[in-house]
Amino acid sequence: MSKHITDSGIILNANYSQPDHAIEQPGAFPFTRGIHASMYRDKLWTMRQYAGFSTAEESNKRYKYLLQNGVMGLSVAFDLPTQIGYDSDHELAEGEVGKVGVAIDSIEDMSILFDGIKLEEISTSMTINATGYILLSLYIALAKKQGADIKKISGTIQNDILKEYAARGTYIYPPKPSMKIITDIFEYCSNEVPKWNTISISGYHIREAGSTAVQELAFTLANGKAYVEAAQKKGMDINVFGKRLSFFFNAHNNFLEEIAKFRAARRMWAKIMKELGATDERAMQLRFHTQTGGATLTAQQPKNNISRVTLQAMAAVLGGTQSLHTNGYDEALSLPTEEAARIALRTQQIIGYESGVSSVVDPFGGSYFMEALTDEIEHKANDLILKIDKMGGAVNAVEKGFIQEEIARSSYQYQKDIESKEKIIVGVNDYLIEGEKTEPVFKIDESIRLVQAEKLKKLRAERDNDATRQNIIDIQTSAKEDRNIMPYVIKAVESKATLGEIADSLREIYGEHNG
């Protein structure tokens, strides 16, 4: 009886044949084997640790701890009120301030968050979407305040709103105005902040919501096509903005499938960009960040998660990632403790410096099995993208609920397989321990909202409120007149307008999406 060897249900029998295409070279179109000819032989991937909690002061301490322990770039997590455009003192923020990330309400918080850290010398990734335009404006304003040349600052904002409608839910505005904001960011950064990655097109949250690897790949690349086409309609040059696009993928438990997924992603994106008109090969290269699978972490026997994270991180490296975050083993229970964060970082360092895999470019290249699996994943993902294209693209597919329904179906099947023991999760549905001891957890103090509210009260009392109000009006005017909003938002945050005030100003113009 044939057995699925992947979570996507792909079956390859023992007699799979050599693929009929020639084995490609690393660093050459369509980049199946990597975007650089030498990959990690010259430089390891960027080792990041996703962190952010409580206040800017507390998160700053964690960033400095991580930098002292060898991280190469920072990755900022924001709390839910920040993600959906509410100041910490808003009634809808109650109970959520500082819980799943850091609370950022104004330029004052951003200054504290990066106190003692020179933005011109560090690459910063910010996982932010609906309010990405505000957080990027705060970051640029702070860089200018530090005396940095903003043309030299580097980093990434996630800025991928389509996957929020499909899989995650932290959206504010309807899809079409949200796409307009994203293309404003593309345009502004192309001219003013050329080293900034203006979007990280995310499959991570699609996978976390329950998709298969094939669906993660197909829906992510379909979203990517939608962003590219929106920018082209605005008259932007695909060979310019295409170089600043990046992707964000999940590394799940099926080791071989994940490696093949990453290889297929590069090949597919190179072909998509070429078909859309790119002629510069650098604009065809898929660069991506990987985070190990949060949904794979178990609260039961949590130290088993160290093994899961190691396998997932190794798959990401063998698949050719450009940067990597490894989850803490205790994240199914709470925010990671310092010990868990350190072990997660050490996992990357051991892979990079001790395993030997960084000395070989695409070690699986030419393997009959890996090449066949890469081809099969590409084939199945292309079939899904074709369905989305026939609906008119990713925006229409989201509005029709197609992507959401596909993910829900896969998630339901995955859960059924666990309950029937068709799929074994060690420590959850088999190999249990009686009387298992609980791990210590990291909790956030509820008083943080009061601390943030006091900061906001002081800010509003001391700033020039007339200037702030005028800058808010200018944002609304630019939106009504279909001008690029970014210069106006930067000016507003410099005048100490708060995140909530800016988000609300565009709620008045664009309305809110009710999914």
Q: Note the pLDDT tens digit of each residue in 278-326.
A: 999 999 999 999 999 999 999 999 999 999 999 999 999 999 999 999 9
d(CA 500, CA 105): 7
Q: How far lies 293's CA from each of 28, 348, 505, in Å?
A: 29, 15, 36
CB 289 within 8 A of CB 324: yes
- Pseudo-torsion of CA 342, 343, 348, 350, nearest 10°? 120
Q: Note the pLDDT tens digit of each residue in 1-44.
A: 345 667 777 776 555 555 666 678 999 999 999 999 999 999 99
d(CA 319, CA 33): 8
Q: Note the pLDDT tens digit of each residue in 371-404.
A: 999 999 999 999 999 999 999 999 999 999 999 9
Residues 6+ apart with CB under 8 A from 75: 48, 49, 50, 51, 124, 125, 126, 127, 325
pLDDT recorded at residue 17: 58
Position 346 pLDDT exceeds 70 = yes
Beta strand pairing status for 199-202 and 323-325?
unpaired
d(CA 216, CA 296): 15
More confident residue, 217 or 448: 217
CB 204 within 8 A of CB 255: no
More confident residue, 70 or 181: 181
pLDDT recorded at residue 18: 59
Q: What is the mean pLDDT of the chain?
A: 93
More confident residue, 435 or 304: 304
The residue among 162, 164, 166, 163 whose CA lies nearest residue 179 is 162
| 160, two tokens | 């991928």
On whether the pTM is more than 0.75, the answer is yes
CB 30 within 8 A of CB 281: no
Read off the pLDDT of each residue in 105-119 and give the average, rounded to a whole number.
Answer: 96
Give percent of the chain with pLDDT exceeding 70: 95
